[in-house]
Amino acid sequence: MELVLPNFLEKRAQISPAKMAIKTETSSITFEQLFTRSKELAYKIASFGIRKGDYVSIYMENSLNLMELIFALKNIGCITVLHNTRLTVEELTYQVKDSDSKIIITDEEKCSLLQEPWNHSFVYSFSTIDNTVKYEEVPIQHEFNLSDTDTIMYTSGTTGFPKGVKQTYGNHYWSATASALNLGIREDDCWLIAVPLFHISGLSILMRGVIYGMEVVLHTKFDPKKVNKAIRSEKVTIISVVTTMLSKLVDELGEESYPTSFRCMLAGGGPVPLSMLERCHEKNIPVVQTYGMTETCSQIVTLSATDAISKVGSSGKALFPCQLKIVVDGVEQGPNSPGEIVVKGPNVTTGYLHRASFEDGWLYTGDIGYLDDEGFLYVLDRRSDLIISGGENIYPAEIESVLQSHPDVIDSGVTGVEDEKWGEVPNAFVVLKSGAKTTKEDIMNFLYDRLAKYKIPKRIMFVDTLPRNATNKLQRRKLKDLLHQNGAN
Ligand code: ATP
Ligand code: MG
CB count in 10 Å sphere of residue 483: 13
User: Ligand 1: which of 291, 348, 376, 395 to mutate, judged by most atoms within 8 Å of the beta carbon?
Assistant: 291
Question: Which ligand is located closest to the Cα atom of residue 160?
Answer: 1
Which residue has the CA at smallest separation from atom 22 of ligand 1? 270
Ligand 1 centroid, distance to 365 Cα (angstroms): 9
Q: Which atom of ligand 1 is nearest to the CA of 162?
A: 3
Q: Give the residue whose CA is nearest to atom 3 of ligand 1.
A: 157
C-alpha 175 to ligand 1 mean position (Å): 17
With the C-alpha atoms ordered 457, 459, 461, 467, is the resulting torsion angle positive or negative? Answer: negative
Centroid of ligand 2 to alpha carbon of 365 (angstroms): 7
Question: Is the domain of 19 the same as that of 77?
Answer: yes
Work out the mean pLDDT of the chain and round it to a whole number: 93
Residue 11 lies in a domain: yes
Q: Which protein residues are within 6 Å of ligand 1, measured from CB?
A: 155-159, 162, 268-271, 289, 291-294, 315, 365, 367, 379, 382, 471, 473
Q: Is residue 107 part of a domain?
A: yes
308 and 214 housed in the same domain: yes
458 and 317 share a domain? no
State the Cα torsion 117-123-127-132 to the nearest 10°.
140
Looking at the fold, whether 435 and 380 belong to one and the same domain comes out as no
Q: Which atom of ligand 1 is nearest to the CA of 366?
A: 18
The ligand minimizing its distance to the Cα of 383 is 1
Determine the atom of ligand 1 nearest the C-alpha atom of 290. Answer: 27
Confidence at residue 488, expressed as pLDDT on a 0 to 100 scale: 43
Query: Residue 49 sits in which domain range?
Result: 4-145
pLDDT at 159: 63
Distance CA 60, CA 27 (A): 18
Same-domain check for residues 378 and 390: no
Closest ligand 1 atom to the C-alpha of 469? 7
**Which of 384, 405, 422 finishes a domain?**
384
**d(CA 195, ligand 2 centre) in Å:** 18
The H-or-E segment that residue 125 falls in is strand 123-125
Element (H, E) at 323: strand 323-328
Domain boundary residue among 360, 384, 408?
A: 384
Residue 158 lies in a domain: no
Which ligand ends up closest to the CA of 296? 1
Number of domains observed in the structure of the chain: 3
* Alpha helices per DSSP H over 20-63: 31-46
Residues 295 and 407 grouped into a single domain: no
pLDDT under 50: residue ranges of the chain: 486-489
Q: How many CB atoms lie within 10 A of CB 164?
A: 22
- DSSP-derived 3-state class of residue 271: coil
- Going by C-alpha positions, the residue among 266, 372, 183, 288 that lies closest to residue 380 is 372
Domain holding 471: CATH number? 3.30.300.30
Probe residue for ligand 1, chosen from 87, 95, 158, 287 as the CB with the greatest number of ligand atoms within 8 Å? 158
Write the DSSP assignment of 330-388 as a string of letters.
TEE--TT--EEEEEE-TTS-S-BTTSPPPGGG-EEEEEEEEE-TT--EEEEEEGGG-EE
Whether residues 415 and 362 fall in one domain? no
**Ligand 1 atom 18: residue of nearest CA:** 293
Q: How far does the centroid of ligand 1 lie from the alpha carbon of residue 270, in Å?
A: 6
* Pair 422, 377 in one domain: no
Same domain, 390 and 380: no
Residue 226 CB-half CA count within 13 A: 12
DSSP string, 388-423: EETTEEE-HHHHHHHHTTSTTEEEEEEEEEEETTTE
Closest CA to 25 of 263, 232, 223, 210: 223
387 close to 311: Cβ distance less than 8 angstroms = no
Ligand 2 centroid distance, CA of 153 (Å): 11
**Smallest-distance ligand from the CA of 167:** 1
CA–CA distance, 109 with 381 (Å, rounded to integer): 38
The confidence score (pLDDT) of residue 486 equals: 42
pLDDT of residue 485: 66
CA of 421 to the centre of ligand 1 (A): 32
449 CA → ligand 1 middle, Å: 30
Q: Point out the ligand 1 atom lying closest to the alpha carbon of residue 289.
A: 27
**In this predicted structure, what is the pLDDT of residue 119?**
61
| Helix pair angle (31-46, 64-76), 10° resolution | 60
**Rounded Cα–Cα distance for residues 48 and 134 (Å):** 9
Distance 73 CA to ligand 1 centre (A): 28
Pair (374, 393) in one structural domain: no
Residue 349 and residue 361: Cα distance in Å, rounded? 8
Atom 1 of ligand 1: nearest residue by CA position: 157
Residue at 196 is within a domain: yes
> Apex CA 475: angle with CA 243 and CA 469, to 5°?
75
How far, in Å, from the CA of 84 to the mean position of ligand 2? 15
- Ligand whose nearest atom lies closest to the CA of 385: 1
pLDDT for the residue numbered 153 = 97
Percent of the chain with pLDDT over 90: 79
Say which ligand is closest to the CA of 163: 1
Burial 97-117 (b: 16+ CB within 10 A, else e): ebbebbbbbbbeebbeebeee
CATH number (domain holding residue 135) = 3.40.50.12780
Mind giving me the DSSP string for 272-284?
--HHHHHHHHHTT
pLDDT at 484 (0 to 100): 65
Answer yes or no: is 157 within a domain.
no
Cα(277) to ligand 1 centroid in Å equals 19
Please tell me whether residues 47 and 194 are part of one structural domain. no
| Same domain, residue pair 91 and 234 | no
* Residue 124 placed within a domain: yes
Q: Is residue 91 part of a domain?
A: yes
Distance CA 26, CA 262 (A): 23
The residue whose CA has the least distance to atom 25 of ligand 1 is: 270
Q: Do the domain assignments include residue 281?
A: yes
Contact 196, 220 (CB under 8 A): no
**Centroid of ligand 1 to alpha carbon of 293 (angstroms):** 5
Helix axes 108-115, 89-99, angle to 10 degrees: 80
Local structure of 287: helix, strand or coil: strand
- Among 84, 246, 293, name the best residue to mutate to test ligand 1's pocket (greatest count of ligand atoms within 8 A of Cβ): 293
Is the Cβ–Cβ distance between 219 and 265 less than 8 Å? no
